[in-house]
A and B are shown apart, each in its own frame.
Chain A
Amino acid sequence: MNAKKLGLYVAGIALLALFPVVVRNPYYIHLAETILIYAILLFGLDIVVGYTGEVSLGHAGLFGIGSYTAGIFFFKLGVPYVMLVVGASVVVTAMFGAILALPALRVTGPYLAMVTLAFGTIIQILINEMTFLTEGPLGIKVPKPSLFGHKLNELEYFYFVAILMLFALVAVNRILRSHLGRAFQALRDSPVACDCMGVSVYRYKVYAFVISAALAGLAGSLYTYSEEYISPNTYNFELTILFLLAVIMGGRKTRSGPLLGALIVVTLPSLLSDISLFRGIATAAAILGVVITAILLVKRQKTWRDVIVPVTSVIAMAAFSYNLENIVDWRLTIFGFMTLFVVYYLQDGIVGYLRNVSGKLWPRRAEVNDIDGVSASEAWAPRSQAAQTSGKLLEASNILMQFGGLKALNAVDLHVARGAIHGLIGPNGSGKSTMMNVLTGIYQPTAGSVAFDARSIVGQTPSQIALAGIARTFQNVQLFGEMTATENVLVGLHHTFHSNLFDVVFNTRRYRDEERAAHQRAAGILQFVGLSDMAHEEARNLPYGKQRLLEIGRALGLDPKLLLLDEPAAGLTAPDIKVLIEIIRKIRDHGITIILIEHHMDVVMTISDLVTVLDFGQKIAEEKPALVQSDPKVIEAYLGSSVTDSAHAVQSVADAAPA
């Protein structure tokens, strides 16, 4: 941890500790307490929204479950121990989070948003209707808890909440920086690549929801004691929207964002209840908006068309504020407009915006934390490979892959010898990539068997197959765009982690050792593929050729026995291709078997030991490179003419394809 960060933490803790001493007004202390409670929930919501990229409209429901678990434990069961009650809330809510995540196994995006909305609605109905448990609309009264036989007063409870908030902050921070956090981010950026790196998208989505729900449960139970009274109407749709607004307005994928967002949404209603204050803010915003627009227009950074909507809306807002009698009635409209504004003009939230601005003013060096600084003690070398070097590593027999009436693969055999580079070529649409998808479990073959290392892998999930030792790259690059090159490789190295949530949260020795080893290995891999100097660059910012190399590096992280390269040379320049060939050779020399799909015939022909040719889903040839080039069937497949017409076409196959 560097000095600046440490200073920030100390300042934050001091602020929390001193706030109630300086501000003695119990109303404000209670308000601050609510902010801290919301912040706990928002840390969790950010895991789902910011990291896995799903919209959850069910967090008010989860918050309600947490609140009511605490309420019921105290009111119905008479459990006096606050830590037990809070713990129970966390566990119960986490279980509901798992239930909520079950449909998430199958759907994403708008479907998932609706599922979570339905979930939230059901929870509110159940709280209302299950009067035997929840007292229904009457609500439950709960006094402030006792800790070690001492009944906490308002001030002491504030500190209690503050300590738990800090604990949540540190825990979430550690989780998100660990291999778990990387998995959450990876499954957002490219689910399919995530699965093929042995990180099961399903499993980690459920983890994300469970952790998020646990935090919502913690926040909910604290809220019960804080308010001392709970009723079903609190946990409505409006609260869900408020939570979402807070996360995206504060800034996703940060810890300061949720804190700021909580501050805004909690204080907003009290700000809005004061009409003159609101008028002042609206006027200031309008003036600020006009000034910024004027500057942008003068500098010609924006055109009239770009700015007309936001400027008109801030001016209209100001005008509107003077025509209002009762602002409270229009609260939701204002929330709605704020949401729209954030979605379109402040996508990274306030914290993200400030970071961008400060980044432009004071360009920072790439963020290097203490572990990232580890240099590669040695360039990459695979872990001990199986000693045997003969025999078949992969035996795919009689593969039939049918989409409706189309047979994308028809009774294809593909046997790959251990330690070989096996070329797989064929015209577009011949079934090469379908074969890749069958081998990595993305498609289930209609018929046929696939034995890898003498074990059948048909029916296994992509992540199981990846962990068994088959790694791949993708025809259209599937990197985790928002993660750095190092982090991309670290996702490939996910399988080297055995630490659980406990290890991560308490930063145990086991976790630290694993993290250090993984970083060292990642640095070695990046050195091997020649990307050491771009280790901290976000993958989406790398040049195309480097992205392809990074994909290979990430696949090597899996320590595969078999590496599937799907058109690795596509779009590469001639010098890049030379580097690529060198790298592929080196990988093979390390004992890793390779299947190479490629349209650059010079690449395939120089490095392959054996070449299989597919055409219209059927294998038409399987020979040594030199023989394939003169095979009449192959020539016909590529050039569509009979042998006699194109006696000279032999060379053409090699020439035509790279173009």
Chain B
Amino acid sequence: MEILLQLLFSGIALGMIYAVIAFGYQLTFATSGTLNFGQGEALMLGALVGLSLVSTIHGGPYLNFWLMIPVVMVFGALQGAVVEWIGVRPAIKAKSEFGWIMSTIALAIIFKNVAENIWGKDDLTFPSPVSATPFHVFGANVQLMQVLVVIGAIAMMLAVELFNRKSIYGKAVVATSNDPDAAGLMGINTGMVITFSYALSSATAAFAGVLVAPLTLTGATMGTSLGLKAFAVAIIGGLTSGMGAVVGGLILGISETLTGFYVSTGYKEVPGLVLLLLVLAIKPAGLFGKAAIKKV
């Protein structure tokens, strides 16, 4: 029973990370109908840049963990803007779906390869900012970092939601996502909004990266599978629903830790991907998404 509870706790922490990355997919999808296939790489870069700042590998430490977070998020925002500028904007202009899919994949490969050359191919340990000694909840071991992950993830998503609902800039984002053409006619610089959504999306991913890094190992290859599974989460929950991202993340995180323990760690990626295939085959709009009516 304790084991099950413990698996649930780590599943929840993992699931919230997926939710944050999935949330990042939703941000860019809302404004431009495009997705960054390198979302996982944005997370990986965030984690590695964070690692350079707080550890000794590049002559540091320069900052402590908490001060590092805003720096990493700024870095993530810049990285997202670059992706949008190089990979997405020309494709949107040319109305080429194939274009942005291929170019965000190409950029993801480049980021990963560059990271391999800077930080090496081996996984590195990320120093935990809080005590790693677990405490007990109903007999199950819980790490403080896991709690921080859940809190941080929720805080991040709430902050973005609040921004969208309350601020005038957020209203521009919402307007663009509803109808980009009309928003453009109302004087909103929709190109800017799309760039902003990419910056925000990658900043979220980078934030997720430094949150998850102390719990797992950090390395150039960490992003790809996280990005893919977070996409599964975004699809399972529905690309238009923030609530869906959280529920989808929890479903996936928990099913994954359970599979890892009861079946084999080698198979722990499989349930999420199978779930993705099933959802797309049965209800492509996701559990919380609304199906669009096709017009002829």
Considering the chains assembled together, what is the distance between the CA atoms of A113 and B90 in angstroms?
Answer: 20
Interface size on B, residues (CB 8 A): 45
Q: Please, which residues of chain A bring their CB within 8 A of the CB of B235?
A: 111, 114
Interface check A102, CB cutoff 8 A: yes
- The verdict on B274 contacting chain A, using a C-beta distance below 8 Å, is yes
- Smallest CB separation, A246 vs chain B (Å): 13
Q: How far is the CB of B237 from chain A (nearest CB, A)?
A: 14
B35 and A110 contact, CB distance less than 8 A: yes
Interface string of B94-123 (1 = CB under 8 A from A): 000111011101110110111011000000
A336, B107: Cβ atoms closer than 8 Å: yes
How many inter-chain residue pairs (CB < 8 Å) link A and B? 121
| Interface pick from B131-139, B163-171, B263-271 | B263-271
Interface residues of B in 62-110 (CB under 8 A from A): 86-87, 90-91, 97-99, 101-103, 105-107, 109-110
Chain B residues whose CB sits within 8 angstroms of the CB of A333 once the complex forms:
109-110, 113-114
Contact partner, A433, options B109, B269, B277, B296, Cβ 8 Å: B296
A174-B26 Cα distance, complex, nearest whole Å: 43
Q: Are A122 and B270 in contact (CB under 8 A)?
A: yes
Establish whether residues B117 and A329, one from each chain, have CB atoms under 8 Å apart when the complex forms: yes
> Does B208 make an interface contact (CB < 8 A)?
no
Using CB atoms, name the residue of chain B closest to A344: B90
Closest CB-CB distance, B109 to chain A, in whole Å? 4
Question: Hey, what's the 0/1 contact readout for B204-248 against A, CB within 8 Å counting as 1?
Answer: 000000000000000000001100100110010000000000000
Are B224 and A122 touching (Cβ within 8 A)? no
Known: A109-B97, A111-B235. A340 touches B273 (CB 8 A): no
B284 A106 Cβ-Cβ under 8 A: yes
- B199 contacts chain A at the CB level, 8 A cutoff: no
Residues in chain A near residue B296, CB distance under 8 A: 192, 433, 436-437, 442, 474-475, 478
- Is A241 a contact partner of B90 (Cβ separation < 8 A)? no
CB distance from A47 to the nearest CB of B (A): 15
What are the residues of chain A within 8 A of B110 when measuring CB–CB?
332-333, 336-337
Docked-complex contact A117 and B228, CB < 8 angstroms: yes
CB contact between B228 and one of A53, A118, A332, A436 (< 8 Å): that residue:
A118
Instruction: Tell me which residues across on chain B come within 8 A of A357, comparing CB atoms.
Output: none
Q: Is B281 an interface residue (CB 8 A)?
A: yes
Given A106-B280, A115-B277, A125-B270, A332 and B101 contact (CB-CB distance below 8 Å): no
Q: Is the interface of A mostly helix, strand, loop or mixed?
A: helix
Report yes or no: A103 in contact with B107, Cβ–Cβ below 8 A.
no
Contacting residues, chain A, for B274 (C-beta < 8 A): 122
Asked if A121 CB lies within 8 Å of chain B CBs, one says yes
Q: CB-defined interface of A401-433 with B at 8 Å, one 1/0 digit per residue?
A: 001000000000000000000000000000001
Chain B residue nearest to A244 (CB atoms) is B102
Query: Which residues of the other chain, B, contact A337 by a CB distance below 8 angstroms?
Result: 106, 110
Cβ < 8 Å to B, chain A residues 365-401:
none
B106 touches A339 (CB 8 A): yes
Q: Which residue of A lies closest to B265 (CB)?
A: A129
B106: chain A residues within 8 A (beta carbon): 241, 335-337, 339-340, 343
Q: List 11 A-B contacts (CB under 8 A).
A: A57-B105, A106-B280, A110-B37, A121-B225, A122-B274, A329-B117, A339-B102, A340-B103, A344-B99, A436-B296, A437-B296
Extra inter-chain contacts (15) besides given A55-B98, A478-B296, CB under 8 Å: A57-B105, A106-B282, A110-B101, A117-B228, A119-B277, A330-B113, A330-B117, A332-B112, A333-B114, A339-B102, A339-B103, A339-B106, A340-B103, A344-B90, A433-B296
